[in-house]
Amino acid sequence: MSSSNAKVLKILKIVRFHIVVGGVLAFSVGALLALAGGGSFDPTRFILGYAVVLLGDLSTHYSNDYFDVEVDKHIEQKKFFAGSGILVNNPNLRSLSRRISLSLLAFSNILAVGLVIFLDVPIEFFVVILVADLVGWFYSAPPLRLTSRGVGELVVACVTGLAIPGLGYLAVRSQFDPLFVYFALPFVMYGLMLSLSLEAPDVEIDRKGGKRNLVVRKGTRSVFLFVFALSVLAALAFFLYGWFVTYSIVDFSFVFLFSLVPLTAGLFGFVVVLQKKEVNHSSALNVGSLFVFNILMIVYLLVTIMTA
């Protein structure tokens, strides 16, 4: 393999495929919710809308690896949800990674502007992606470096649980309405559950790197208790919607049943961590349960749309 091909392969390995898949699922859930609620499906708006999200998402892969290179040097054993570590072993690629991240960030916003101008996508779409992209950059970039200021988890929760499905919703329906509002709070809870579960296995690395996230400050047991509480609250919200929301195209009884998957994972993870202090598998179980929840939502919404 030539040196240039090897360089390209290494830079591509910075992309974390499972994070990309999570973005696809979250965007699709938002878009299908909008479609079920009466929106009209435009393949061009859907595909280009997701492209905006994908470009912003990929930008964070490169920026996080670039700005976290000193922290990543403390990683002794590669973990599935951790950074790639490519820039630790290949410092010559650092500047390229930064340029790629900034380019993707710019293209994400330029494409969003194009959608607003040429495809009648609402201006809110551009505002949401602009904020999400800037937050994604400053998550690890100085001078803000949000991950070191104790707000990194909340940032990830709002981007993954609110912004990404929200962009899918706007790409199809062009406005937020009560149906999206119903899901907003539980989705942010799941976003926070995701963020904390991703952080938990790296608590010692983050402590050495000077991060002040919740896992570092409170410890893994407290965090997994909090994760379980979030899964309970999200399930409770869907349960109450099933009782009190008298009219909705979405049957919240089904959504409540789907929410039992992350709830079960959250309970199991907390019990395991409490007894054995095993973090890695519990974190992976929590993350996997959220993937399953989104997949169940997508299947349910597709059936609802096709049978409406």
For residues 13-34, average pLDDT = 96
> Residue 161: how many CB atoms within 10 A of its CB?
26
**Taking the alpha carbons of 147, 211, 233, 273 in that order, is the dihedral positive or negative?**
positive
C-alpha span between 85 and 13 (Å, rounded): 9
Nearest to 110 by CA among 137, 129, 124: 129
Q: Give the Cα-Cα-Cα angle 303, 25, 15 (nearest 5 degrees).
A: 155
Residue 124, CA distances (Å) to 52, 64, 169, 170, 259 in order: 14, 26, 11, 8, 29
**Residue among 186, 180, 136, 126 nearest 161 (CA):** 186
**Domains along the sequence of the chain with CATH:** 3-307 (1.10.600)
- The 8-class DSSP code of residue 161 comes to I
**Rounded mean pLDDT, 196-208:** 78
What residue has token string 């996508």? 121
Q: What angle do CA 217, 153, 78 make, to 5 degrees?
A: 80
Q: Which of 294, 288, 286, 292 is nearest to 270 (CA)?
A: 286
pLDDT more than 90, % of the chain: 75
Given this model, what pLDDT does residue 105 score?
Answer: 98
Q: What is the pLDDT of residue 112?
A: 98
Would you state the pLDDT for residue 287? Answer: 96
Q: What is the mean pLDDT of residues 129-141?
A: 96
Residue 111 pLDDT level (bands cut at 50, 70, 90): very high
Residue 217: what pLDDT? 81
Each residue's pLDDT tens digit, 43-62: 999 999 999 999 999 999 99
Average per-residue pLDDT for the chain: 91
Output the six-digit token pair for 70.
């000193």
pLDDT of residue 168: 98
Higher pLDDT: 124 or 71? It is: 124
Q: Tell me the pLDDT tens digit for each residue of 169-189.
A: 999 999 999 999 999 999 999
Give the pLDDT score at 148.
81
Tokens standing for residue 60: 């964070």
Average pLDDT over residues 6-24: 93
* Residue found under tokens 């608590």: 203
> Is 17 a residue whose pLDDT tops 70?
yes
The predicted model gives 254-281 an average pLDDT of 92
Say if residue 142 is preceded by a cis peptide, omega within 30 of 0.
no
Q: pLDDT category, 85, cuts 50, 70, 90? A: confident
Band of residue 210 on the pLDDT scale cut at 50, 70, 90 = low
Using pLDDT thresholds of 50, 70 and 90, give the confidence band for residue 71.
confident
Tokens of 76: 């002794």
Q: What is the pLDDT of residue 3?
A: 72
How many angstroms separate the CA atoms of 186 and 230, rounded? Answer: 9
Mean pLDDT value of segment 61-75? 83
Residue 42 Rama label (left phi>0; alpha psi -120 to 50; beta): beta
Please determine, for residue 81, whether its predicted confidence score (pLDDT) is greater than 60: no
Residue matched to tokens 């790629």: 100
Per-residue pLDDT, 55:
98
The pLDDT score that the predictor gives to residue 209 is 64
| Amino acid letter for position 89 | N
Supply the pLDDT for residue 69.
87
pTM score, two decimals? 0.94
